[in-house]
Each structure stands twice: as C-alpha cells, then as structure tokens.
Structure 1
Amino acid sequence: MNVICQYCGKPAQFVDSSRVYRKSYGMIYYCKPCNAWVGVHEGTKKPLGVLANAELRRWKKKAHFYFDRLWKSKLMSRKAAYKWLSGQLHKPVAQTHIGMFDVSDCKRVVEVVFKFWRDQP
C-alpha cells in the first residue's frame, strides 16, 4: 500500500511503531520529516486513518475525549454515536471516523459533542 503524506506529498515509510513510541505497538506509516504517523489495522497494511502531525494528534485526542463519552457512558452504542455524529457533521457514516478527520473536523466534533452534553437536562 502506498500512503502519501498529506503534509509533504512524499510516501510514508511502513515501520514498527517503536520508531515513535520507543515500544512496539505494531506497524505504522511514518513520515519522519513531518513527524506524522498513522497506525494500521492489526495484521494488515491498511491505515486506520490519515497521517497525523503533532497538531492533528492533539485535536484527535480532544475529539475522542468528548465523543467517546457518548458510547462509553452507555448513552448510545458506538455505532449509534457515529451515526449521530455523521448527521451532525453532514458526512456519510462511512466517512465519519475520527481517524479520517483533519483538524477542522476534529474541532467540529468537540463543538457538537460539547453542545450535546451542555443541552442535556
């Protein structure tokens, strides 16, 4: 699989995650000049989303912090939470996954989920 870095346009390397975490958690695609990486589905070379630099990784963590509460609190299933989010973001369900999002999408996740929790009785 050829994964191209969206920051520099060069191919990412398929390497062990110990290159960035100092401990192996499996394989990743890694662009060293951009300090961007993405994990892969276990046992495959299929990326879990898009390469993420430091800024995007920060926003993905924030998005997950707010979004994951929807399904971890048992308020709704994980599948239902992503379906709800797809409606909020006006994206097809198949394209609604934080791993695929850019910074703008992640900021929007934080906004809509924060508003959801704020408006709860």
Structure 2
Amino acid sequence: MRVGRPIKALPQPLCDYCGTHAALVKSGEAPYPYREDHGPLWICTACQAWIGIHARSTRNVPLGRLADGALRDAKSRLHDTLEPLVAGKIRRDRVNPFEARAKAIRWVSGELGFEPVPASIHNLSLEQCEQAIQYVEAFVAHRRAASSGGTV
C-alpha cells in the first residue's frame, strides 16, 4: 500500500472534434504523424488531430487543445504573421523570444476581447486564429502606411 501524497492521474485530453480520448504516441509508433522525432504527442487517430506536450514534462501535459489540419495551418499562419512584431519587440525591449511571443498573443487577444485571454497560440480556436491574423495584418499595414507618410 502506498503511503503519502496520492499520485494524480495522467492528463488524457478529449478531442474537440469527435469527443474521444486522445492517445499518447511517441516517435516510431504507428500513428505518429512526423518522419522525425518531434517528441511525444497526444493524438486522436479518428480525426488526425494532435498536440505536443510541454518540454521536460514528466506527466505528459498537453501544450493546449488538439488541433486538426485547418487549425494547425491557422496557428502556423498566425505565428508567421506575428513574427515581425516579435522580432521588433526582441530588438527594442531586449526580451527573449518566448516572452515577446507571449506578450504578442496577450496583446492581440486583449485587443480582440478573447475570454479567457489565452497564454499561447496553442489555446486559440480556428475562428480566433483567423480574427487575430486579420487584426495583426491590418495593424501592420496601418503602421507601414503611417511610417511611409502615406494617408491612412
């Protein structure tokens, strides 16, 4: 019999698309979606939705929600859209990339009124990603027009 603090059960995320429990897979196992080792993933084989786990996590804590192909693509596009702002923040304020990216996500989430404010891109929905992409693109275009002396 174990004496002491109880051991918490491993997190097993539910798929937002079909409601089934995701399975933890590692590189080399049949449903693993990558050719190279990108670390363990939680995957719903029925929907082909997956999410990675936090680095150095001993409990396999998922980074966020499971994402299908459309959501993974939207997150990637949002990441690319934010990158010039993140690079500017790193140069201007001398912060690390993780801090700059987190501040960018909090900024755009606050501007668009996302509740609760997500801590990272991993927690955004497809609709939120699309809204954020449009907002950031408009913001960058407005700043470029203002800095070039053009009319806004």
User: What TM-score results when the alignment is normalised by the length of structure 1?
Assistant: 0.88
Superimposed CA distance per residue, residues 27-50 of structure 1 (whole angstroms, 9 cap, x where no aligned partner) = 110011101100010122111111
Aligned amino acid, residue 37 of structure 2: S
Q: Closer, same or farther in 2 for the Cα pair 1:85/1:93, shift >3 Å?
A: farther
Q: Distance in 2 between matches of 1:5 and 1:78?
A: 26
Q: How many residues align?
A: 121
What are the equivalent positions in structure 2 for 1:1-80 lying under 5 Å apart? 1-18=11-28, 19-44=32-57, 45-74=60-89, 77-80=100-103
In the alignment, is the contact (CA less than 8 A) between 2:106 and 2:118 conserved in 1? Answer: no
Instruction: Give the corresponding residue for 1:110.
Output: 133
Alignment gaps of 5+ in structure 2 = 1-10, 94-99, 147-152
Percentage of matched positions with identical amino acids: 31
| Greater C-alpha Rg | 2
Alignment gaps of 5+ in structure 1 = none
Instruction: Give the corresponding residue for 2:4.
Output: none
Aligned amino acid, residue 109 of structure 2: S
Q: Distance in 1 between matches of 2:71 and 2:62?
A: 16
**How big is the alpha-carbon RMSD for the aligned residues of Structure 1 and Structure 2?**
1.9
SS at match of 1:20: coil
User: What TM-score results when the alignment is normalised by the length of structure 2?
Assistant: 0.72
Deviation at 1:91, TM superposition (A): 2.8
Higher relative contact order (CA 8 A, sep 6+): 1
User: Displaced runs of 4+ in structure 1, greater than 4 A?
Assistant: none
Aligned amino acid, residue 52 of structure 2: G
